[in-house]
Amino acid sequence: MAGTALDMTGPRPGAGIPVYAVYGTPDPAAATMAELLTRGVHLRQLGPDHLIPLDTGLPDLAQPILDMLGRHNGRPLAGAVGFDDWWTTALALLNPGFPLEPARRLVTDKAALYTALTTNGVPAPPHITGILDADLLVTALDQFGPAPILKPATGAGSRGVYRYRPHLTIAENLAIYQRLRELGHIDTSVATIACPYLGGPDALEISVDAIVCAGTIVHTVVHEKCTATRVEPFVDQVMRTPPVQPQIAAALPPIPAIIAGIAATLHLRDGALHAELRLHHKTWYVLDVGVRPGAGLVAHAVQAVTGTDPRAAHLAASIGQPLTAAVMRARTGTHPAAAIACCYLSNDRRDAVDLASQAGLARRLRQHPDVLGWHLNAADLHDQIYRPDAGLSIGVGAATATDAHTRLQSIVAPYGYTTS
């Protein structure tokens, strides 16, 4: 992973779009993606050429794509599943009567989501909404203090999130945030939400993944965010479950009611939820919600501690064939706790890395019984401009979250990787 403008080996076109057409009939007794795929389900990843015409909602553009996708390898189209917050119009065409559509529409209108949550008694940040300009910043400063948070009013996650910098002028903050929005490909017509910054140097954040069946929360897994930063890009580099910090553990009792309140607000009967929450003055505030599992290895950690894969629950709910609570509760996890991390080569090791050393790491990861999964990018080129680099995503299970975190670090450190 070279990370310079000279890199000509970027991801395959469309590879970053996690939308899949689903073919075949899912086994209702399957509780994991692996089981679905070995029992007759086939996935076909869809790219921009498929999704853009569908997402326009125009029948003349959509129908040829629907005809093209009707069968694959002899299997009929059962529907489609999306593992990000986008492409809801396309998914609604691929899933007639798409049961997740209303909930997905709401979570991608963040101002409406915050209002709906608050109306239903679920704490969400106070906020104002408007087109990004100096007047909006002046109002935000008046209402929320010297360092408000700015974010686009669409989608979940940290894309386009910015904390106002009090040492800069309004004009300077506006200029920086406009450029950050451009870098994130966030159109200037998209409304901006301004909220107070909830917390301080000791702010605590968690993510919660839940599996919902017939309106009931079947599983809830809380990840402690160990490295969420206080300035953009707000990277969650290390997460562990269950939480270890005493302040978080002591504040967890309200979480089940909050997650049930989110599901009720979204009128979500079946599927997976991913929520981001921050603890502020002993109250958990919901920052973001996705009607999907958490990204990366989050789902692998959830499966490790519950035995059920939230991606399978999400797929089944997307195509209108939800899993039953009995199936999801019948499984047991392989580990009581887990840690997941994004690791990078420390600067003092970058010039020494080569593919042979990465092959040794790969062998160790394959053989380690507690590694839940991993994904490695690597390069082998010694050049001060085009420097070698690597990124490793990894999940590890153990008896406790502290043990999982320690074991993860002990696995990657000999190969020059760091989580800090």
Report the number of secondary-structure helices (H) and strands (E) in the chain.
Answer: 15, 17
The set of residues, in sequence order, having a beta carbon less than 8 Å from that of 364 and lying 6+ positions away, is 411
pLDDT for residue 382: 67
Q: Whole-model pTM?
A: 0.92
Cβ pair 391, 1 in contact under 8 A: yes
Residue 173 · residue 137 · CB < 8 Å: yes
pLDDT of residue 113: 96
Q: What is the pLDDT of residue 196?
A: 94
Residue 190's closest CA among 223, 154, 236, 165?
Answer: 154
What integer pLDDT is reported at residue 54 of this predicted model? 98
Across the chain, which has 420 residues, the per-10-residue mean pLDDT values are 47 80 95 95 95 97 97 94 96 97 95 96 96 96 95 77 95 95 84 88 86 97 80 68 95 97 98 95 94 96 98 97 95 97 83 80 93 85 67 95 96 87
Q: Which two tokens stand for residue 9?
A: 């080996």
Distance CA 112, CA 138 (A): 22
Name the residue type at position 193. I
| pLDDT given for residue 381 in this prediction | 67
pLDDT at 348: 79
Quote the DSSP letter at residue 220.
E
CA distances from 110 to 119, 192, 193, 199 (A): 14, 10, 8, 20
Nearest to 293 by CA among 224, 395, 219: 219
